[in-house]
């Protein structure tokens, strides 16, 4: 499968502009990320639109629930031909194994380790004493051993994770910035650094959809990683 390594997150609330953006970027982008906002507001319509445009959907619902509930959600995602579906590794091994029962080829289960918006201080404040990098490595290994197809992590952790996962599992990194403001992202890197660290795909949202020229921005990102 030869897919563009750039996944574009459609995290804004204007259905016509979203459709226009998908059309404009269609030549360069194969996978679009649909998150909570878009899914809750225009779920069926936007999934049908992306299918019609022959685009793959990275449905980022970050499932985290009891195993049976997650398995049923995965079943529904399979029926909708979702390409990639995220779940929180923190949901545990049993949850991921149960989810995998409904995921054959599709949807590809992608485990989110620790959100890139969280810092060491943030995780301490919720009672986790471990260092982010150690925790991310542990979660990634557990998720893959439980049946996940790949993991989402910060580009800053991708290298350590690649060493653990080997070459056949995929790593997706958000928190990617060229020279833009990092906004709420705390563990960021450039596209080049992300791929050099072992990412297979990067997810970029605001730097593209908030750019005055999104196509130009996509070309700029793709050029950095050729
Ligand atoms: O706008 P920005 O480029 O920061 O968007 C990054 C996208 O990746 C967002 O849609 C966010 O939900 C997602 N994401 C993330 N960190 C994770 C997992 C997903 O930023 N660990």
Residue 188 inside a domain? The answer is: yes
Q: Are 203 and 172 in contact (CB under 8 A)?
A: yes
Distance 36 CA to ligand 1 centre (A): 11
207: pLDDT strictly greater than 90: yes
Ligand 1: nearest atom to the Cα of 114: 21
Residue 159 inside a domain? The answer is: yes
Residue 160 inside a domain? The answer is: yes
pLDDT band at residue 156 using 50, 70 and 90 as cut-offs: confident
pLDDT score at 179: 80
pLDDT score at 84: 98
Catalytic residue (choose from 33, 55, 56, 62):
62
1: pLDDT strictly greater than 80: no
Q: Domain tally for the chain? A: 1
197: pLDDT strictly greater than 80: yes
Residue 107 inside a domain? The answer is: yes
151: pLDDT strictly greater than 80: yes
Query: Does the Cβ of 110 fall within 6 Å of ligand 1?
Result: no
The CATH number given to whatever domain includes residue 87 is: 3.20.20.70
- Work out the burial of residue 100: count CB atoms within 10 Å of its CB; fewer than 13 is exposed, 13-18 middle, 19 or more buried: middle
pLDDT score at 199: 95
Percent of the chain with pLDDT over 70: 100
Residue 1 inside a domain? The answer is: no
Percent of the chain with pLDDT over 90: 83
* Of 67, 3, 11, residue with least CA distance to 205: 11
185: pLDDT strictly greater than 90: no
**DSSP E strands: which ranges in the chain?**
6-9, 31-34, 56-63, 84-88, 108-112, 150-152, 170-173, 201-204
Mean pLDDT to the nearest integer, 177-201: 86
Is 169 tagged catalytic?
no
Residue 123 inside a domain? The answer is: yes
Range of the domain at 84: 6-224
Query: Does the Cβ of 35 fall within 6 Å of ligand 1?
Result: yes
- Work out the burial of residue 171: count CB atoms within 10 Å of its CB; fewer than 13 is exposed, 13-18 middle, 19 or more buried: buried
Which of 203, 214, 218 for a ligand 1 pocket mutation test, highest count of atoms within 8 Å of Cβ? 203
Under 8 Å CB-to-CB from 161, ≥6 apart: which residues?
Answer: 113, 136, 137, 140, 151, 153, 171, 198
Q: Are 76 and 44 in contact (CB under 8 A)?
A: no
Residue 196 inside a domain? The answer is: yes
Residue 104 inside a domain? The answer is: yes
Q: What is the pLDDT of residues 9-52, one digit of tens each?
A: 999 999 999 999 999 999 999 999 999 999 999 999 999 999 99
From CA 110, how far away is CA 199, in angstroms rounded? 13
Distance 162 CA to ligand 1 centre (A): 20
Average pLDDT over all residues of the chain: 94
Q: What is the pLDDT of residues 89-109, one digit of tens each?
A: 999 999 999 999 999 899 999
From CA 142, how far away is CA 185, in angstroms rounded? 25
CA distance readout (Å), 39 to 43, 77, 89, 136, 170: 4, 12, 21, 27, 24
């Amino acid at each position: 499968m030869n897919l563009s390594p750039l996944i574009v997150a459609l995290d804004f609330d204007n259905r016509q502009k979203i459709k226009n953006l998908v059309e404009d970027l269609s030549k360069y982008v194969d996978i679009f990320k649909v998150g909570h906002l878009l899914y809750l507001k225009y779920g069926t319509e936007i999934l049908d639109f992306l299918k019609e445009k022959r685009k793959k959907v990275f449905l980022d619902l970050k499932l985290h629930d009891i195993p049976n509930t997650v398995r049923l959600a995965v079943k529904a995602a399979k029926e909708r031909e979702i390409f990639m579906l995220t779940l929180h590794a923190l949901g545990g091994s049993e949850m991921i194994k149960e989810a995998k029962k409904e995921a054959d080829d599709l949807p590809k289960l992608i485990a989110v380790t620790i959100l890139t918006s969280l810092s060491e201080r943030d995780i301490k404040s919720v009672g986790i004493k471990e260092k982010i990098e150690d925790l991310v490595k542990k979660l990634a290994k557990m998720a893959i051993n439980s049946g996940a197809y790949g993991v989402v992590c910060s580009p800053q952790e991708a290298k350590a994770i690649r060493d653990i996962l080997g070459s056949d599992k995929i790593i997706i990194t958000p928190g990617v910035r060229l020279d833009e403001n990092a906004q709420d992202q705390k563990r960021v890197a450039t596209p080049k650094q992300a791929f050099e660290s072992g990412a297979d795909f990067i997810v970029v949202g605001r730097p593209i959809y908030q750019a005055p020229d999104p196509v130009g921005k996509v070309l700029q990102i793709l050029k950095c990683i050729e």
